[in-house]
Amino acid sequence: MSLYYRLFILALFLFGGAFATARYAGGETDAPAPLMAQVYQAAEFSSLQQVVGLNDDMWRDMPAASINLGFSDDHVWVRMPLSQLPFDYQRQPWILELGYPLLDHIELYIMHGDVVLLHTDAGNDLPYSSRPLAVPEFAFPVPPLSQAQWLYLYVHSESSVQIPIRTFPEQNYWQQRVGEVTFDAAFHAILFSMLAYNLLIFLLSRDLIFFLYSLSIGAFAMMMAALHGWTYALLWPESPHLNDLAILLSLALSEAFLALFGVSFLRLRKLHPRAFMLYSSYVVSALIFAVLAFYLPYHTMIRLLTGQAVLMSLSALALGQLLWWQTRSRDVFLFFLAAFSLLIGLFLYAMQKFGVIPVNVVTEHAAELGSIILVVLLALSMAERHNRERQARLAAQDVIINMQREANAVLDQKVRERTEDLELLNQRLREESTTDALTRVRNRRYFDQRFYTLYQDAFRQQTPLALLLIDIDHFKQFNDTHGHQLGDTVLQKVAQTMQQAIKRPQDSVYRYGGEEFAILLPNTDESGAIQVAELVRQRIERLRLEHEGQILSLTVSVGLCAAIPPQRDQQEVLYQQADKALYLAKDQGRNRSCALPLSIPDSQQQSR
């Protein structure tokens, strides 16, 4: 058997037992025989003298503890012989309690024949401070009266006419009050703890359903506190008219908030438009009833609101069962079970108010029991819904995360490819911007950067740096004689020969401008630089170019300077010495290499 059916059968068992107890209360028991009273009710008011003189056949016998006439506008008299009290009322003070706190007008008479020994007025229409005892129910202290024979009560009320009579010796009354107050306190503590819990969940999750549920619990807790007289005792003790209004307003708001909660929880707007219209009508009618409560009599409004509460419970029960059959989800089943619990509780409570079943512990607290089960089951239902939606969100998040990871992986791959392409393109652009387009060796711009860097490195490391400046001999005359096209070919051949002549990776060739080239040789002294210069010169000298049947040859002049930099930022001096050496080679007949040492002018040495 599934968990659903076990819970359902448990609810049937509990409420079946409660209904049986309510229906057959007063059956055979080992307890002392209950007190009996006689009731007379009439549409017209009768005075005490008139009812004392009534014939016995005009009175109805009823158990004193369960007098319930339902909603009635009649004037009611109750009489009870004091001789049946189970204690010595003539020798000790005692308490008479009427356990329904909503009776509007009460008059108590203790009689000896037709002589009034004690008269006390009370009722919900009077300020709370006028009550004989400051308790939510009506309690009348009675002193020991040796001649007392009869108790007479006059009751008239717009609410349900319930007159549950209990009597206690004075010393016992306050002891039994402890248990009743504890029950009420525990009941409201449960409701307010659930209210606080759901408000906290709402503040954390911002889910409207928890807010609506909190409002429903708050309104219902206020209604039950008003029904049991606690709001009158604690909030507005000097304003009797507010208590009836508080009951009607809290009941109307409970119905409105519960209907809104049902609409939100069951998603009726989307899943069941007809049910959505029905529950929307409940909300509208409840709000209309809340407004009418300020103008219409209490007995009219309480009947309308109680009837709508039963209709809402029936429709919630039917709708919950239908949705459960369709979805088979736990949260809907728990909603159905909660509606069933509330329906049974309200049914017992309403039947008691209308006088169909007697007043006893079960019927008087049926609404509380049903509401507690409702609150717990709805909390479980929302927890189940929240957990299911959370799991669905987590599953959806996993799917989204996986999709995002895949998308990120694809994007990362594309970004890497694009980055590599861009880096390659930028590298090519950098190379193009620093490479001579004709000879494909580095240009003057790159030479200036590289020369500065190598000079700084040589200064820091105190290693020699060699600079070779190479100029093609008589290139302008050669270019004018044989044409610019052959001149370009010569420049290309010379650059290619220079690159082939140098062996080390750190050595580099540059086109400095026109027919002039430069070679930088890091960590190379003057003798090594002269060897490289001669190698370059000799290889170029051996070049042969064929043009229009002629064999043409070339020569170059090389000027160099190699030294360990004695100062920082003096690379211009190194260049000037290499340039002077180049002119010296030209002056000495060209096709040769000349070297000059690095010499720093005295003025620059003094400025170090």
User: Exposure string (b/e) for 121-138, b if CB count within 10 Å is 16 or more?
Assistant: ebbbbeebeebbeebbbb
HSE of 521 in the Cβ direction (CA atoms, 13 Å)?
27
Residue count of the chain? 608
What does the block give as tokens for 511?
């086109």
Query: Which strands make up the sheet holding 165-169, listed edge to edge?
Result: 138-142, 94-98, 165-169
Residue 530: which of 459, 585, 476, 570 has the closest Cα?
585
What's phi and psi for 582, nearest 5 deg? -65, -45
Please work out, in degrees rounded to the nearest 5, the angle formed at the alpha carbon of residue 435 by the alpha carbons of 429 and 440.
120
Using CA atoms, how far residue 497 sits from 500, 529, 539, in Å, is: 5, 17, 7
CA-to-CA distance for 381 and 334, rounded, in angstroms?
5
Q: Which amino acid is at 218?
A: G
- The answer to whether residues 363 and 1 touch, using CB atoms and an 8 Å cutoff, is no
Q: How many CB atoms lie within 10 A of CB 311?
A: 14
User: Exposure string (b/e) for 150-186, b if CB count within 10 Å is 16 or more?
Assistant: bbbbbbbbbbbbbbbbbbbbeeebeeebeeeeeebee
CA-to-CA distance for 328 and 347, rounded, in angstroms?
27
What's phi and psi for 89, nearest 5 deg? -70, -15
Residue 469: which of 571, 565, 581 has the closest Cα?
581
Instruction: Characterize the bridge pairing of strands 593-595 and 556-563.
Output: parallel
- The answer to whether residues 559 and 469 touch, using CB atoms and an 8 Å cutoff, is yes
Rg (alpha carbons) of the chain, rounded to whole number: 55
Angle between helices 170-205 and 366-433 (to 10 degrees): 20
Q: How far is CA 206 from the centre of its chain?
A: 5
**Of the listed 238, 515, 516, 548, which one is catalytic?**
515
CA-to-CA distance for 488 and 530, rounded, in angstroms?
27
Using CA atoms, how far residue 449 sits from 131, 235, 456, 461, in Å, is: 106, 91, 11, 19
Compute, in degrees rounded to 10, the torsion defined by CA atoms 66, 71, 73, 78: 0
Whether residue 137 lies in the annotated active site: no
Question: Which residues on adjacent β-strands are paired with residue 123?
Answer: none
**Residue 121 DSSP SS3:** strand
What does the block give as tokens for 128?
């709370």
Catalytic positions:
515
